[in-house]
């Protein structure tokens, strides 16, 4: 069918926290089953529409561009950009795994000692407090570092090696998977929701 059905739609849970990005096709399936509502910025507010309300709204408020709609036999429906799940109360608390890629993503491929930007192949993971000092493998103790800084620091504490972290390593506030999926255009469109998407649940170590 149309390319429009492959457009990304941001999914919010009932706490209005961004939890996923899905294709419009799946979003329509959720809407049709009453599992979700459309959230739309309208008249300086966020309005929530059921599927039927959204079909009505689409009829009286056609979008500016034709690529923003989906045609069915009887209706022309606007593409939803954001949907709100109506059923799932719980925060889908999928723990963000402490993986090499997730650390690189958090640190945005910047060495946390010299601040330089490097390709991933040229970055190591460094235990800020070395393991033999009792340093653990946790979000708070693992950072990206370039080969040069890593070699310089070796198995020492940062101050012993004369290096300093450019920022305190913390567990990411939200799942990098969402930031990876977003292009700049959608980031702008979804900004209000992504600001709400910060995890406020502290995960156990």
Rule CB under 5 A: which residues touch Zn ion? 111, 113-114, 146, 149
Closest to Zn ion by CB, 12 vs 146, is 146
The least CB distance from residue 99 to Zn ion, in Å, is 21
The least CB distance from residue 140 to Zn ion, in Å, is 19
Closest-CA residue to 138 (of 126, 153, 149): 126
Closest to Zn ion by CB, 21 vs 114, is 114
The least CB distance from residue 157 to Zn ion, in Å, is 16
Return the HEC string of 4-41.
Answer: HHHCEEEEECCCCCEEEEEEHHHHHHHHHCCCEEEEEE
Q: HSE, CB side, 13 Å, CA atoms: give it for residue 180.
A: 9
Closest to Zn ion by CB, 114 vs 181, is 114
> Cα–Cα distances in Å, from 162 out to 127, 154, 155, 158?
15, 11, 12, 6
Closest to Zn ion by CB, 18 vs 149, is 149
DSSP category for residue 167:
S
The least CB distance from residue 153 to Zn ion, in Å, is 9
Neighbours of 16 (CB within 10 A): 14
DSSP category for residue 203:
P
């Amino acid at each position: 069918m149309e390319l429009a059905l492959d457009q990304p739609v941001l999914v919010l849970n009932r706490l209005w926290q961004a939890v996923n990005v899905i294709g419009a096709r799946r979003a329509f399936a959720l809407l049709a089953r009453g599992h979700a509502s459309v959230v739309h910025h309208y008249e300086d507010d966020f309005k929530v529409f059921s599927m039927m309300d959204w079909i009505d709204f689409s009829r009286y408020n056609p979008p500016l561009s034709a690529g923003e709609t989906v045609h069915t036999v009887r209706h022309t429906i606007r593409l939803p950009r954001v949907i709100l799940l109506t059923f799932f109360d719980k925060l889908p608390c999928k723990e963000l795994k402490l993986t090499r890629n997730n650390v690189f993503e958090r640190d945005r491929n910047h060495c946390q000692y010299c601040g330089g930007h490097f390709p991933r192949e040229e970055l190591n993971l460094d235990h800020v407090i070395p393991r033999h000092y009792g340093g653990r493998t946790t979000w708070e103790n693992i950072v990206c570092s370039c080969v040069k800084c890593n070699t310089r620091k070796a198995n020492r504490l940062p101050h012993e090696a004369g290096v300093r972290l450019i920022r305190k390593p913390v567990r990411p506030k939200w799942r990098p998977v969402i930031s990876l999926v977003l292009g700049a255009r959608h980031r702008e469109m979804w900004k209000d929701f992504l600001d709400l998407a910060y995890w406020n649940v502290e995960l156990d170590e």
